[in-house]
Amino acid sequence: PLVTTKEMFEKAYEGGYAIGAFNVNNMEIIQGITEAAKELNAPLILQVSKGARNYANPIYLTKLVEAALEDTGLPICLHLDHGDSFETCKSCIDGGFTSVMIDGSHLPFEENIAVTKRVVEYAHDRGVVVEGELGRLAGVEDEIKVSAEDSSYTRPEEVYEFASKTGVDSLAIAIGTSHGAFKFKGEPKLRFDILEKVTEILPGFPIVLHGASSVIPEFVEMINKYGGDMPGAQGVPEELLRKAAESAVCKINIDSDLRLAMTGTIRKHFAEHPSDFDPRQYLKPAREAIKQMVAHKIVDVLGCDNKA
Ligand code: G3H
Ligand code: 13P
Ligand code: NA
Ligand code: ZN
């Protein structure tokens, strides 16, 4: 069966590595990720956003993830990414997810506590774990402004009260990452001092890093070379992610790198094979590119190979 993140996070925390949480939207993405994890014997979190559920129809993604589970025999957690309400979380819990995120980070502190606590009570009664969030990541739409400066970092003085009042199983924090392919204007910088303070206040508590794609330059170049237009795309450098993985960070969220691998590979394929029109012709190399990219993450960034 699908597993929760409980044991995964305990082992990751102890072992100084992190589990990759990859966003999934269709069969090829799921297959690319799980084939890499299977070859490397890595535990996996496959996460589904509200947008992904709207795109694919929830039942399709759930069944595809169940197929991946049967195919690989790996410990796989099916997680709701950025749950926006109690109702969305409940729907996923009722539908067989083993983990949900309730993202109340945009709410006033007391309201974030209230909605998170409500989700935790419903989830824990059904053996499901919950991720909460404190602090706000800069959004893609904020990129025109000074993105990192505009986001509000997690305030360490709030984390103890939040964790103890809500009962959450893990906590996403804002230390300078952001979603999407344009994370930094100049020098990439993460506030590891905030992470350290949070870890001192909540020793042993699993921390989650969102917006953690490295926006792999090879794929950005491929996109720009074959007709795309993504000047200035920049992500979190791998050495910073490795440093995070060695710390209390137990879950590293990756979506943009999957999108870039898929898009770059498909653009290249069409440029080189303009008469192809069978979706298998271009989705096969895209799936393979995802597999290679995820394998690299597992071995060289997350350190979770052979931890299944
Ligand atoms: O955090 C956002 C993830 O990249 C999911 O994006 O809401 O467009 O599916 P999405
Ligand atoms: P990226 O946009 O950096 O891949 O972040 C994904 C994420 O945080 C999903 O919740
Ligand atoms: Na870790
Ligand atoms: Zn996120």
Asked whether 238 and 6 are in contact (CB, 8 A), the reply is no
Q: What angle do CA 215, 221, 225 make, to 5 degrees?
A: 145
C-alpha distances in angstroms, 267 versus 274, 280, 295? 10, 14, 22
For residue range 14-56, what is the model confidence (pLDDT) as tens digits?
999 999 999 999 999 999 999 999 999 999 999 999 999 999 9
For residue range 239-276, what is the model confidence (pLDDT) as tens digits?
999 999 999 999 999 999 999 999 999 999 999 999 99
pLDDT at 140: 52
* pLDDT band, residue 58 (cuts 50/70/90): very high
Cite the beta strand spans of the chain per DSSP E: 19-23, 44-49, 76-83, 99-102, 129-134, 170-173, 207-209, 249-254
For residue range 75-107, what is the model confidence (pLDDT) as tens digits?
999 999 999 999 999 999 999 999 999 999 999
DSSP 222-262: HHHHTT---TT-B---HHHHHHHHHTTEEEEEE-HHHHHHH
Residue 253, domain member (yes or no): yes
State yes or no: pLDDT of 179 exceeds 90.
Answer: yes
Residue 277, domain member (yes or no): yes
**pLDDT mean over 57-84:** 98
**pLDDT mean over 219-230:** 98
Catalytic, out of 81, 142, 169, 305: 81
pLDDT at 151: 62
Q: Is the Cα dihedral 9, 12, 13, 18 positive or negative? A: negative
State yes or no: pLDDT of 4 exceeds 80.
Answer: yes
CATH code for position 124 = 3.20.20.70
Q: Is the CB of 23 under 6 A from ligand 1?
A: yes
Mean pLDDT of the chain: 96
Place of tokens 């710390």: 247
Residue 307, domain member (yes or no): no
Asked whether 46 and 22 are in contact (CB, 8 A), the reply is yes
ipTM over 0.90: yes
pLDDT at 253: 98
pLDDT at 138: 74
Containing domain of residue 148, as a range? 6-302
Residue 59, domain member (yes or no): yes
Q: How far apart, in Å, do the first and last CA atoms of the chain sit?
A: 14
State yes or no: pLDDT of 302 exceeds 70.
Answer: yes
For residue range 128-163, what is the model confidence (pLDDT) as tens digits?
999 999 999 876 544 444 455 556 999 999 999 999
DSSP 60-76: HHHHHHHHHHHHH---E
Of the candidates 273, 284, 285, 143, the one whose C-alpha atom is nearest the C-alpha of residue 219 is: 285
Residue 1, domain member (yes or no): no
* pLDDT band, residue 216 (cuts 50/70/90): very high
Residue 291, domain member (yes or no): yes
- Gap between the Cα atoms of 50 and 100, Å rounded: 11
Residue 235, domain member (yes or no): yes
Q: Is the CB of 211 under 6 A from ligand 2?
A: yes
By three-state DSSP, how is residue 137 classified?
A: coil
For residue range 192-212, what is the model confidence (pLDDT) as tens digits?
999 999 999 999 999 999 999
Asked whether 4 and 99 are in contact (CB, 8 A), the reply is yes
**How many domains does the chain fold into?**
1
Q: Is the CB of 254 under 6 A from ligand 2?
A: yes
Ligand 2 centroid to residue 213 C-alpha, Å? 6
Residue 308, domain member (yes or no): no
Ligand nearest to the CA of 212: 2
* pLDDT band, residue 123 (cuts 50/70/90): very high
Ligand nearest to the CA of 178: 2
C-alpha distances in angstroms, 4 versus 152, 156, 209? 29, 26, 18
Mutation choice for ligand 2 from 214, 253, 257, 301, CB with most ligand atoms inside 8 A: 253
